[in-house]
A = this chain, B = another copy of it.
Amino acid sequence: MELLLTYDVSTITPAGRGRLRKVAKLCEGYGMRVQKSVFEIVCTEPELLTLIDKIQRTIDDDEDSIRIYKIPKGSFRTVQMLGTARPLPHDDALIM
């Protein structure tokens, strides 16, 4: 399945920047970082459960916000981009 994960974390503090780095590393195991705190993820349902478990043990529940949207297959290719945004080459075999 394809997911869009957005992470709202204050990067004013070193601790916040550290959590963003850790969440980015977790997400990059399943997809691509397309913006500072937006990740396009391709994974299976069990992988998602593992990812969520790891994220929950990383974020600050009282400070950070994470939203995970299930999106239709192919949405990573049809995204509309403005400014410096660029399409990123997911592994086709994973997406199709």
List residues of A whose CB falls within 8 A of some B CB: 4, 6, 8, 34-38, 52, 55-56, 59-72, 75, 78-85
Q: Can you list 21 A-B pairs, Cβ within 8 angstroms, ordered by A?
A: A4-B4, A4-B69, A8-B35, A8-B36, A8-B37, A8-B85, A35-B65, A38-B67, A56-B82, A63-B83, A64-B82, A64-B84, A65-B81, A65-B83, A66-B81, A66-B85, A67-B79, A68-B81, A68-B82, A69-B69, A72-B72
Q: What 7 A-B pairs are tightest by C-beta distance, nearest first?
A: A8-B35, A66-B82, A65-B85, A68-B80, A64-B83, A65-B84, A6-B38
Smallest Cβ distance from A37 to chain B, in angstroms? 8
Smallest Cβ distance from A96 to chain B, in angstroms? 18
